[in-house]
Amino acid sequence: MLKFFLFSLFLIPLSYFGCWWLVHILMFLLMFLFYFNFVSSYYFCNLSYFMGCDVISYALILLSFLVCTLMILASESIYCYGYYFKMFIMFIMFLFIMLYLSFSSNSLILFYLFFESSLIPTLFLIFGWGYQPERLQAGMYFLFYTLFSSLPMLLSILYFYSFFCSLSFSLIFNFDYSYFIFYFCMIFSFLVKIPMFFVHVWLPKAHVEAPVSGSMILAGVLLKLGGYGLLRVFCMLMLSGISYNFFFVSVSLVGGLFISLVCLRQMDIKSLIAYSSVIHMGLVLAGLMTFNYWGVYGSLVLMIAHGLCSSGLFCLANIVYERLGSRSLFVIKGLLNFMPTLSLWWFLLSSYNMAAPPSLNLMGEIMLFNSLVSWDFINTYVFLIMSFFSAAYTLYMYSYSQHGMMFSGSFSFCNGYLREYLLLFLHWFPLNLLIFISNFFFI
């Protein structure tokens, strides 16, 4: 594990010398090498001094590799216009290293440290390369929501350490007391990061103001840090979880229902995709909280699927924004006439967003459906209505953007670049490929 970390670390000076495409190619190479370092164990293996990897962290590190590499591919306009691109790629590499260390750290306190450090480069990406002046407000929302929630977690970790004198994930075991305060402080930071309904306000703001790379990494990997953290800390919160989890499952499902209705009245396309992320991650949270096998692996599958699909939709929204200078559905309608070849990608990624077969999203949602229905039968009705509205807002987004009269300001037909087709293909193709190894998750 340490060799991949050192490889990534030495890409930072390379990025400072402005080797944009070289860093990009080496990231692809590194991802390819890590792919063959395959892990299928539920226990930590590939151990180095403070790092290790099990099947969950392996999947999420691979997702981080892919999304960070595609961020560089999606942000070529920053390189072409020379918009502080050396600094930009340096922040991307720093963010990737923090994510890699978060997912591979063996100790709870190290995980906390790297989990918080990933905020800094994301904040600079929003502040430095965002679009509107409101990005300062969005960045502050993002920073204070996440920092405010993580202080109780630090205190809980220190409290736990004072009892057991170890914070290694391999040695953590059930903390046999049903303390609500300890339980809530430990998971609150992750609930904000996922984000759960009631603490989700920072996410749409941050997405709308962030550049395409910021949106990709936020939707693709940073939200998954919350789910990964919950998976790691629940082994010490079993008794408390059995007592109190019903509240968070209810909030996630009912909140997903409300936000589906919010999606149906969005006019900003990026905002719509951001709210749909809140719904999908609400399902992930509900699945994790059920504490059963279907729920844990269903949430892992949906995290990977949502990371790729949502990131691809943000890329499409950015391609349109670069051509038309707007994200409003009133202005960008009629894209079928304006960008006919990109309509296929809109269709493919929109259909996968609403979990159409043969996507990985469908597999994740089926597993979560089994998990939630076995936990309580009444969840069936909520899940069915959520699935219906999921299809409704995705169709609304697709039909509103692709059909209708073209805005008179967009006066000429325009196609995508080869780079953009490659970018969208690399988001879409793994979603088909991964379902062929779905038996791996059912073993």
What is the pLDDT, as a whole number, of residue 442?
64
Is residue 204's pLDDT more than 60?
yes
- pLDDT digit string (tens) for 59-84? 999 999 999 999 999 999 999 998 99
Q: Determine contact, residues 241/291, Cβ cutoff 8 Å.
A: yes
What does the pLDDT average to over 175-192? 87
What does the pLDDT average to over 395-405? 93
- pLDDT digit string (tens) for 257-279? 999 999 999 999 999 999 999 99
Predicted model pTM? 0.96
Q: Determine contact, residues 150/113, Cβ cutoff 8 Å.
A: no
What is the pLDDT, as a whole number, of residue 38?
85
| Cα distances (angstroms) measured from residue 157 to each of 10, 108, 142, 329 | 32, 8, 23, 46
Instruction: Find, among 407, 424, 190, the residue nearest to 314 by Cα.
Output: 424
Here the tokens at position 206 are 């941050």
Distance CA 280, CA 348 (A): 18
Q: How confident is the model at residue 101 (pLDDT cuts 50, 70, 90)?
A: very high
* Percentage helix, strand, coil for the chain under 3-state DSSP, each rounded to 5: 75, 0, 25
DSSP letter at 25 equals H
Distance CA 393, CA 289 (A): 26
- Higher per-residue confidence, 61 vs 174: 61
Q: Which residues are paired to 45 by β-bridges?
A: 53
Q: Determine contact, residues 153/27, Cβ cutoff 8 Å.
A: no
Q: How many CB atoms lie within 10 A of CB 192?
A: 21
Give residue 334's region: left, alpha or beta (phi > 0; psi -120 to 50): left
What does the pLDDT average to over 103-107? 94
- pLDDT digit string (tens) for 322-359? 988 889 999 998 899 888 889 999 999 999 999 998 89
